Every structure is written in structure tokens, then in C-alpha cells.
Amino acid sequence: MSLEISNNNIYKNLYDGKWESIPNIKFIEITSPVDGSLVGKIEAMTKDDVDKVVTNSKSAEKVWSETPISKRAEILHKAADLLEASKSELSDILQIEIAKDRKSCLSEISRTVDFIKFTADEGKHMEGETIGADNFPGFNNNKLSLVTRVPVGTVLAISPFNYPINLSASKIAPALIAGNCVILKPPTQGAISALHLADIFNKAGLPPGVLNTVTGQGSSIGDYIVKHKDINFINFTGSTEVGKHIAEIAGMVPMLMELGGKDAALVLEDADLEAAAKNIVQGAYSYSGQRCTAVKRVIAIDSIADELVEKLKDKVEKLKVGMPHQDVDITPLINSKAADFVEGLIQEALDKNAKLILGNKRNGNLLYPTLIDNVTLDMRLAWEEPFGPVLPIIRVSNIDEAIEIANQSEYGLQSSVFTTNINKAFYTAKKLEVGTVQINNKTERGPDHFPFTGFKSSGLGTQGIRYSIEAMSRIKSIVLTIEG
């Protein structure tokens, strides 16, 4: 890993192709959710610093937009190779910075390597089209539209703490292949991992200024950057609260928003309960439930609910709890505020007579996997996104009641339906108000070239490699009129 990026664990920002320290800057200490140790310090950039960065990005737009796509793809492939080579070291940083278990860290990085390579190749195959005029009433074949895609300019990429490598790269790579400059504003907790990723892209040979970084608390400088007149596109992943706030203040800037979720797993009478339980437990508890696509509620038909709960319990009991390097399933939450919030949701449900099946134990920020049955619709746990290792079970009497409750959520990211009846699967899938329905599988994002989109408060626009490239470029048409 490069020496230029930090000095005595004090991290700089990538500016005009170099890692620069800002004189007289204040620092933010990043401590580990694992043991409270200092991971490093990052710069709390000011509005003036942001202005300087944006000006630099704008000055790099021309050279990058005129760089042939084949050359851009070559640089992305180089970045993917460098990322692959840094896997072990970066996984160590991720583990300590965001307390993600070792296996999930390695998988986040491998998946990102594949993402960058796929993006490079996809970009090479995104061709334009020509459209004739004679199929439109009143026109003959004397006009031709040559449709191409051009970059939008400078993309602001804002990523969340839970996937600081993957969800930074999934914005950076498609934006770059489309010919845009990128300013990365990483999550504060997760910034160090993301700065290492930026270093890798830079080392792969990006011209100076094509990728810059801005660090600082979103609550301090976030509003200023998102409203900056020279930002041409905002690609944001994070909470619905912050996403909605950005959408309100940013003005007429195109944006992609990946926000919160309350993904439901609907388990019907004829489901293979063993397979359903296995999928649900993996989907609900991996990275301690800190995933937008985690299964965040089970809606089970009453007649099979007892058996399902037994199977879920059996599997949740086997989850390993501990620290990231111990190859466990459940690790400490990102901070004590998050742990307090999850605990509050659990307590409110129990106070209202939900039935605790397992868990509700806490050691610092480490919450033990918690399974709660008989959750009813007057409980916050039925509706709110915990972002922690707790799974509520809501019992219903039939398929339509299950669909109705699923759709009452303010969120609409994904849902699963478990059934052995294909007709019921499609009946349910068609009625669920979500971007993706998984049939007999846990809710999850990948593979990353599939469309990924949230209905309602879960987002705006569609990600997924080709979709992201399309979103971060615009159609430009040149019309030829042929005489005679």
C-alpha cells in the first residue's frame, strides 16, 4: 500500500493526482468499533477546500472525456488488478475500521474487482444507434438521428459506511468509463478504506484531477457539496433521511439514490421450510444485519409459522458471535448509537408482548442475534429499519394479508417469496411494490450487473453496471437531413 496517502496515520486527500495535506486543517479521529483503537485521522475539509477540489475536477473533464473508451477501460482493468493484489491488506483495514467479519471483507473486495472489470468491458460495448425518420407519420427517409452518449461532467459519489469499498467503486467505475470526473465523499467511518481504494484508481493511471476525494462529516460539509453549482450528478447511497434531504436541497441535478429498506421474506404454506429458514438467516444476519438488502422482517402464514420459527431458531443458535478476525457471523455494530437504536426497537416490541425466541443480549456494541416472534403492526420493529441483528416474525392468515402488510411499508427495495407453487410465486411477485422480488432466495443485490432499484422511500433511479453507466451519461443526438 502506498506511503503517500498518509503520514503517521494522518490521511491526506487525493487532489490533482497527488495526496496533499491541507495546511492548518482540523482532523477527525477514526476509532475502531472493534476495540476503540485509533485507526487514523482524516481531514475535516472546509467549504474553501471543497471549492478548490471542484475547480480542479472541472479542469480535468476535457482531457478525460476525450480519452478513448478503450484507454479508460485499460485503466480500470489495471485498477482491478491492483485491488486484487491489495486484497489481504485492505481486508485488514476494513475489519478494523467497520468491524466487518474477515470473510465478508474479502468477498466485498473480490466482488469489487469483478465489478470494475465488468464495467470496463461493458463500457466498451455501449454503442450508439441511428434512427431513421420514415416510421414517424409525416416524415420520409430524409432524416437520420445519430444517437451517442456523452459524459455528464463531474459526478459527486457519496458512499455509506457498510460497503466503503464496494459502494464507492460501484459509483466511481461506471462514472469513469462514461467519461466523467469523480469527486468521492466517503463515509466518515469507512473513509480510510475508501481512500485506499481511491489510491488504487489513481495508481492505475488516471490523469490528474479525474478522481479527487473530499473528507469531512456529511453533517458539516455535505450540504455545501451537494448544492455546489459545478456538481453535475449526485450518486448517493445511504439512509433515506439523508437521501431525501439531499434531493430537497440539490436543485435540478440528476441523481441516483440507493436508500434504506425493510425487505420482507414472505413464507407461504407450501414453502420448503428448511431452505427458506437457511436463506432467511443468511439474509438477515450477515454483517450483523447492516445491509440495505438484509431480510428485515418475516411474514409467515400462521399454519407453518411454528415449524418455521423452530428452524430459524435452530440456525440462529449456530451463528458465531465475536470479533471480525475470528471468522464469525456477528460482529460489533458500527457505533454505540446504532446499538442503542436496535436495542430500543427490541425493547419496545417486548414491552408490547412480542415473544423473544433468542438473543437480546449485548456486550458493548456487540448485539447477539435476536429473533422475535408474534410481532404485531403496532410495534416499531414491524416498520423501521434496525440495521442490526434482529429479525421480527409477523404471522398472517393468508397470502393476500402477507402482501398487504409487505406493501404497507414506506420502503420498497426488495422482497422474497418462499413457495413451491410457481403460480403463487408470480401472483405475489407481481403485487409486491419493490424493485426486485427474489423467488425462493434471500434478498440480495448481486450479481452486480442486475438492475438494482428501490421503489418508494428506497431510492431513485436504477443501478447495476449498464444501468449506472447509462444514468451517468446523457444522450446526445446529431440529426442529418439528407437533401433530394
The span of 52-60, 252-260, 307-315, 427-435 binding ligand NAP (CB under 6 A) equals: 252-260
**C-beta of 234: minimal distance to ligand NAP in Å?**
9
Give the span between the Cα atoms of 365 and 37, in whole angstroms: 14
Whole-Å CA distances, 247 to 175, 259, 358: 20, 12, 40
**Residue nearer to ligand NAP on the CB measure, 160 or 392:** 160
Which residue of 151, 454, 461, 464 would you call a contact of ligand NAP, by CB under 6 A? 454
**Residue nearer to ligand NAP on the CB measure, 155 or 292:** 292
CA 3 to centroid of chain Cα atoms: 29
Options 61, 105, 122, 292, the catalytic residue: 292
Answer yes or no whether residue 158 interacts with ligand NAP by CB under 6 A: yes
Give the span between the Cα atoms of 26 and 10, in whole angstroms: 11
Tell me which of ligand NAP, ligand G3H, none is bound by residue 238, counting a contact when its beta carbon lies within the kind-specific cut-off of 5 to 8 angstroms. Answer: ligand NAP
Least Cα distance to 452 among 484, 414, 423, 409 occurs for 414
Tell me which of ligand NAP, ligand G3H, none is bound by residue 444, counting a contact when its beta carbon lies within the kind-specific cut-off of 5 to 8 angstroms. Answer: ligand G3H
Which residue of 163, 233, 236, 383 would you call a contact of ligand G3H, by CB under 6 A? 163
Tell me the CA end-to-end span of the chain in Å, nearest whole number: 64
Give the span between the Cα atoms of 228 and 463, in whole angstroms: 23
Answer yes or no whether residue 291 interacts with ligand G3H by CB under 6 A: yes
Answer yes or no whether residue 459 interacts with ligand NAP by CB under 6 A: yes
Tell me which of ligand NAP, ligand G3H, none is bound by residue 222, counting a contact when its beta carbon lies within the kind-specific cut-off of 5 to 8 angstroms. Answer: ligand NAP
**Residue nearer to ligand NAP on the CB measure, 289 or 359:** 289
Q: Which amino acid is at 99?
A: A
Give the span between the Cα atoms of 393 and 265, in whole angstroms: 10
Which residue of 193, 213, 293, 360 would you call a contact of ligand G3H, by CB under 6 A? 293
**C-beta of 298: minimal distance to ligand G3H in Å?**
17
CA dihedral (43, 47, 48, 53) in degrees, to 10, reads 70
Q: How many residues bind ligand G3H (CB under 6 A)?
A: 9
Cβ neighbours for 166, distance < 8 A, ≥ 6 positions apart? 108, 111, 112, 115
Strand-strand pairing, 211-213 and 10-11:
unpaired
Give the span between the Cα atoms of 445 and 97, in whole angstroms: 23
Question: Left (φ > 0), alpha (ψ -120 to 50) or beta: where does 24 sit?
Answer: left
Tell me which of ligand G3H, ligand NAP, none is bound by residue 446, counting a contact when its beta carbon lies within the kind-specific cut-off of 5 to 8 angstroms. Answer: ligand G3H
- Joined together, the cell numbers standing for residue 117 give 472489470
Tell me which of ligand G3H, ligand NAP, none is bound by residue 43, counting a contact when its beta carbon lies within the kind-specific cut-off of 5 to 8 angstroms. Answer: none
Tell me which of ligand G3H, ligand NAP, none is bound by residue 392, counting a contact when its beta carbon lies within the kind-specific cut-off of 5 to 8 angstroms. Answer: none
Tell me which of ligand NAP, ligand G3H, none is bound by residue 459, counting a contact when its beta carbon lies within the kind-specific cut-off of 5 to 8 angstroms. Answer: ligand NAP
The string of DSSP letters for 41-65 reads EEEE--HHHHHHHHHHHHHHHHHHH
> Cβ(337)–Cβ(102) under 8 Å?
no
**C-beta of 199: minimal distance to ligand NAP in Å?**
18
**Residue nearer to ligand NAP on the CB measure, 235 or 419:** 235
Which residue of 280, 292, 321, 429 would you call a contact of ligand NAP, by CB under 6 A? 292
**Residue nearer to ligand G3H on the CB measure, 42 or 292:** 292
The span of 43-51, 96-104, 123-131, 242-250 binding ligand NAP (CB under 6 A) equals: 242-250
Annotation marks residue 258 as catalytic: yes
State the SS3 of 120-181.
HHHHHCCCCEEEECCCCCCCCCCEEEEEEEEECCEEEEECCCCCCCHHHHHHHHHHHHCCCE
Strand-strand pairing, 255-258 and 233-237:
parallel
Which residue of 364, 446, 447, 451 would you call a contact of ligand G3H, by CB under 6 A? 446
Answer yes or no whether residue 238 interacts with ligand NAP by CB under 6 A: yes
The burial of 121, by beta-carbon neighbours within 10 Å (0-12 exposed, 13-18 middle, 19 or more buried), is given as middle
Give the span between the Cα atoms of 390 and 401, in whole angstroms: 23
Annotation marks residue 317 as catalytic: no
Answer yes or no whether residue 262 interacts with ligand G3H by CB under 6 A: no
Answer yes or no whether residue 445 interacts with ligand G3H by CB under 6 A: yes
The span of 10-18, 26-34, 213-221, 287-295 binding ligand G3H (CB under 6 A) equals: 287-295
**C-beta of 154: minimal distance to ligand NAP in Å?**
15
- The SS3 of residue 262 is coil
Options 97, 122, 258, 385, the catalytic residue: 258
Which residue of 91, 154, 162, 473 would you call a contact of ligand G3H, by CB under 6 A? 162
Least Cα distance to 439 among 405, 463, 415, 455 occurs for 415
Answer yes or no whether residue 157 interacts with ligand G3H by CB under 6 A: no
Q: Which residues bind ligand NAP (CB under 6 A)?
A: 158-162, 167, 185, 187-188, 217-219, 222-223, 226, 237-239, 242, 245-246, 258-261, 292, 385, 387, 413, 454, 459
Q: Which residues bind ligand G3H (CB under 6 A)?
A: 162-163, 167, 291-293, 444-446
- Annotated catalytic residues are 258, 292
